[in-house]
Amino acid sequence: MIRRDVERMIVGSIKEILKDRQYFYHSTVGPDYCHLTEEGKTAIIDIVNILGSRMLVAMEQEDIDRSKQLVLEQLKGK
């Protein structure tokens, strides 16, 4: 899984939480009255716990791939 995919999953998950009144209270009065519910706070923490590790794995893989590419370029003389 690549980093961009994990980023999309995180953003998509947060958007879904914000649309659900069980997780996020949105007031038309103004942003000062909008807030995550307790269930919403738990859901956000769950997302970070689940997808955070996937993000780190994806970032590590990008570093490995970038290192391999640099070595190959140096061996080719570019």
Ranges of each domain in the chain:
3-76
Instruction: Compute the distance between CA of residue 23 and CA of residue 49 in angstroms, rounded to an integer.
Output: 17
pLDDT at 78: 62
pLDDT at 77: 81
What pTM was estimated for this model as a whole? 0.76
- Please say whether the beta carbons of 70 and 14 come within 8 A: no
DSSP state, residue 77: T
Which residue numbers in the chain have pLDDT < 50?
A: none
